């Protein structure tokens, strides 16, 4: 192997320096991207801190709401079937009083969430449109812990009665305080 002349040595050093510089350029670019991503994360965390401070500012309000729930929400049930039976009985009685006909009723699977247990019933009812609307408006109340989860209300166009008749499919759920 022969020795390199001065010009070849300078070209070799220039080539090595270029490779070194490009490697450092890619490294700096990767570090900058990492820092830039960190800045975005810091911004997200600052927003989260502001949000949490807002919640802390409303602490008294939410504690009063929680105390109200503890006092007013029906206690947890021992048997989901019994709780569903009571809900069905309540709905059947109120429909009977309103003179609304039940076409179909289906018990839904009980559910549990972090804060409450739920039983639900799906109903298909038919009757005088005004009475159906009145019945629906009476179902929900602040202290009843009942909700209309689904509601499909339509006028029965095939009815031959003088008063407008309604067909309603509704899912009514009742919430209970979690046991334990």
pLDDT of amino acid 58: 87
pLDDT digits (tens, 9 = 90+) for 35-46: 776 777 888 899
Domain residue ranges of the chain, discontinuous segments joined by +? 6-57, 80-177
Answer yes or no: are the C-beta atoms of 176 and 145 closer than 8 Å: yes
Beta strands 116-128; 146-155: pairing state:
unpaired
Judged against a pLDDT cut of 70, whether residue 131 lies above it is answered with yes
pLDDT digits (tens, 9 = 90+) for 66-102: 899 888 888 888 888 888 999 999 999 999 999 999 9
Spatial distance between the Cα atoms of 56 and 40, rounded to a whole number of angstroms: 24
CATH superfamily membership of 80-177: Ribosomal protein S6/Translation elongation factor EF1B (3.30.70.60)
**156 DSSP 8-state letter:** -
pLDDT digits (tens, 9 = 90+) for 150-165: 999 998 888 778 888 8
Spatial distance between the Cα atoms of 176 and 108, rounded to a whole number of angstroms: 15
Judged against a pLDDT cut of 80, whether residue 110 lies above it is answered with yes
Spatial distance between the Cα atoms of 144 and 79, rounded to a whole number of angstroms: 19
């Amino acid at each position: 192997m022969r020795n390199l002349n001065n010009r070849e040595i300078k070209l070799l050093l220039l080539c090595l320096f270029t490779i070194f510089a490009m490697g450092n350029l890619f490294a700096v670019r990767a570090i900058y991207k990492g820092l830039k991503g960190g800045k975005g994360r810091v911004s997200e965390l600052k927003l989260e801190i502001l949000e949490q401070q807002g919640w802390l500012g409303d602490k008294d309000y939410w504690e009063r709401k929680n105390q109200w729930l503890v006092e007013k929400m029906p206690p947890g049930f021992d048997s989901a079937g019994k709780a569903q039976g009571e809900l069905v009985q309540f709905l059947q009685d109120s429909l009977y009083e309103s003179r609304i006909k039940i076409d179909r009723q289906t018990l839904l699977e009980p559910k549990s969430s972090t804060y409450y247990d739920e039983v639900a019933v799906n109903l298909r009812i038919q009757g005088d449109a005004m009475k159906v609307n009145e019945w629906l408006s009476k179902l929900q109340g602040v202290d009843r812990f009942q909700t209309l989860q689904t509601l499909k209300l339509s006028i029965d166009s095939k009815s031959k009665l003088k008063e407008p008749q309604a067909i309603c499919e509704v899912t009514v759920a009742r919430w209970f305080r979690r046991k334990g």
